[in-house]
Amino acid sequence: MVNILAERLANSKPINKDKFKKGATKLYLETYGCQMNVADSEVVISILNKEGFGLVDSYKSADLILINTCSIRDNAEQRIFNRLNEFKHLKKQNKSLLIGIIGCMAERLKEKLIEKEKLVDLVVGPDAYRSLPQLVQKAESGQKAVNVLLSREETYAEISPVRLSKNGVSAFVSIMRGCDNMCSYCVVPYTRGRERSRNPQTIIKEVQELIDNGYKELTLLGQNVDKYNWNNGSVKFADLLEMTAKLDPNLRIRFSTSYPQDMTDEVLYTIAKYDNICKYIHLPVQSGSNAVLKRMKRGYTREWYMDRINAIKTIVPDCSISSDFIAGFCSETEEDHKDTLSIMKLVGFDYSYMFKYSERPDTYAAKRLDDNVPDEVKSRRLKEIIELQNYLSLVSNKRDIGKTFEVLIEGESKKSSERLFGRNSQNKVIVFDKKDSKIGDYVMVKVNECSSATLLGEIVDN
């Protein structure tokens, strides 16, 4: 699943405001959680835009506030409740203001959200966004407006998302929805429903529109992209990758998230075949212990995972690899934890997203397993995982010193307006002096220095 990260919190800022009608109902939308939620917010804006809603930068002037939410860990939900509290005073000032919770928390908590949080007027799950305009009307008339029906078909296939990306360079394209993996700790199958793939023609059309609008990079999104399957196998993920890669050699293709059980050699050969398919795979392992993987119901073993890593290293030798880890899952022993540290070293991950286990209501683990690792042990194990990853990232970055990479420029460096940053194919961030280059350009950058998080370099001639 997403790299699907509450940590990659996205606060959506509107662009393209000229697209919105004058005098429109003012919509303020905040997005939390994974990249999929960002893509969904873009669909939501598109749906509401057609009905005369215009996006505003500040919640202070809004008529409708929507929060696209995440349930992946308890702290993701707490963050939303805190945010709601901050909106309380607004309702006193503006009696007609409507506040809606959409996305995963809406799906998980349903009507309870309206009952618990008096200030919530609308609750709309991830498969019900087409009904948003009617639900807003209903809420305006003072009725409860809830739609949390999950669908087996909805992919918002033909809706043209209104892009939130600030730089106009990279965009997300959703290729499937839902998840059938049923990992025992995970809330996603309950919040996003059954797995379904989007019609490839509509995907290609959307990608072509991005190319026509000057976008240079896209990320194909799904909870498990390796399960992409249209029309009983007539288009699989490797085919879709190839179809998008062929559209324009100057368009970079990324994808997220891959699943160890399902990632085929065919996909790896396709990645190797096309220069514009980025050499970066996010392949979450979660734990290095077979006993824990079994309790997590991940469906693969440590040995299987290592086989996939070896396949990547053989077929796509310059590929970088990242992972997700959960520290302190039910009954995790010190030995299990050591297995996690050892698989990290064995693979030499370039990057990882690391979390403490957080029990989610109604999951298999919540119902059948004991969340029995004390919090201080979870914290200590997480700290050890983070420290090891920082070390591995530094080793990986040091290997790049002296190398030259093609970098797609995404923006100005936070520290200096004289410097720009971008990513190489391996998804590493590189900072360098501007010279004559600008956002959206491809430049060749030679790496001179690094930290565990960033590479520093200079533009060189090809």
Residues that bind ligand SF4 (CB under 6 A): 2, 4, 33-34, 36-37, 70-72, 103-104, 187-188, 191-192
Q: How far is the CB of 153 from ligand SF4 (least distance, A)?
A: 19
Footprint on this chain of ligand 5AD (rule: CB under 6 A): 1-2, 4-5, 72-73, 185-186, 284, 286, 324, 326, 355, 357-358, 360
Nearest to ligand 5AD of 72, 385 (CB atom): 72
Question: Cα-flanking dihedrals φ and ψ of residue 173, to 5°?
Answer: -130, 115
- For the bound state, the minimum distance from the C-beta of residue 336 to ligand 5AD, rounded and expressed in Å, comes to 15
Residue 286 interacts, among ligand 5AD, ligand SF4, none and using kind-specific CB cut-offs from 5 to 8 Å, with ligand 5AD
The one of ligand SF4, ligand 5AD, none whose footprint includes residue 206, by CB under 5 to 8 A per kind, is none
Least Cα distance to 15 among 194, 228, 164, 167 occurs for 164
CA distance 436 to 172: 28
3-state secondary structure at position 252: strand
Q: Give yes or no for a contact between 154 and 3, defined as CB atoms under 8 angstroms apart.
A: no
Q: Which is nearer to ligand SF4, 77 or 336 (CB)?
A: 77
Q: How far is the CB of 179 from ligand SF4 (least distance, A)?
A: 8
DSSP secondary structure, 34-89, as one string? -HHHHHHHHHHHHHHHHTTEEE-S-GGG-SEEEEEE--SSHHHHHHHHHHHHHHHH
Separation CA 450–CA 191 (nearest Å): 40
Contacts of 328 (CB under 8 A, 6+ apart): 356, 357, 373, 377, 378, 381, 382
**C-beta of 26 vs 73, nearer to ligand 5AD:** 73
| Token code pair at residue 87 | 């909106």
CB closer to ligand 5AD, 33 vs 54: 33
Amino acid, res. 25? T
The binder of 33, among ligand 5AD, ligand SF4, none, by C-beta within 5 to 8 A per type, is ligand SF4
Q: Of the two residues 8 and 273, which places its CB atom closer to ligand SF4 in the complex?
A: 8
Dist. CA 405–CA 444, nearest whole Å: 6
Query: C-beta of 399: minimal distance to ligand 5AD in Å?
Result: 26
H/E element, 361: none
Under 8 Å between Cβ of 415 and 392: no
Q: How far apart are CA 208 and CA 202, in angstroms?
A: 10
Q: How far is the CB of 105 from ligand SF4 (least distance, A)?
A: 8
> 324 is in the binding site of which of ligand 5AD, ligand SF4, none (Cβ under 5 to 8 A by kind)?
ligand 5AD
Q: Pick from 224, 229, 218: which is nearest to 173 by CA? A: 218
Residue of 3, 2, 12 whose CA lies nearest to 32: 12
Return the number of the residue (175 or 319) whose C-beta is nearest ligand SF4: 175
Q: Angle at the Cα of 68 (from 163 to 84), degrees rounded to 5?
A: 130
104 binds, among ligand SF4, ligand 5AD, none (CB under 5 to 8 A by kind): ligand SF4
Least gap, CB of 80 to ligand SF4 (angstroms)? 11
Task: Pick the closer one to ligand 5AD by CB: 5 or 124.
Answer: 5
Give 147 or 397: the residue with its C-beta nearer to ligand SF4: 147
3 state DSSP class of 456: strand
Q: How far is the CB of 2 from ligand SF4 (least distance, A)?
A: 5
User: Phi/psi at 102 (nearest 5 deg)?
Assistant: -125, 165
Residue 308 contact, options ligand SF4, ligand 5AD, none, Cβ 5-8 Å cut-off depending on partner type: none
Q: Of these partners, ligand 5AD, ligand SF4, none, which one is at the site of residue 323 (CB under 5 to 8 Å by kind)? A: none
- Partner in contact with 71, chosen from ligand 5AD, ligand SF4, none, beta carbon below 5 to 8 Å by kind: ligand SF4
CB of 461 to ligand SF4, least distance (A): 42
Question: With CB cut-offs between 5 and 8 Å by kind, which of ligand SF4, ligand 5AD, none does residue 228 bind?
Answer: none
Strands 170-174 and 217-221: parallel
Which tokens belong to 204?
Answer: 């290609």
Q: Where are the alpha helices (DSSP H) in 193-251?
A: 200-212, 237-247
Kindly tell me which of 32 and 405 has the beta carbon lying closer to ligand SF4.
32
User: Between residues 200 and 222, which has the closer beta carbon with respect to ligand SF4?
Assistant: 222
> 293, 385, 392: which is closest to 345 by C-alpha?
392
Name the residue whose CB lies closest to ligand 5AD: 324
The entry of ligand 5AD, ligand SF4, none near residue 36 (CB within 5 to 8 angstroms by kind) is ligand SF4
CA distance linking residue 131 with residue 147, whole number of Å: 8
* CB of residue 8 to ligand SF4, shortest distance in Å: 9
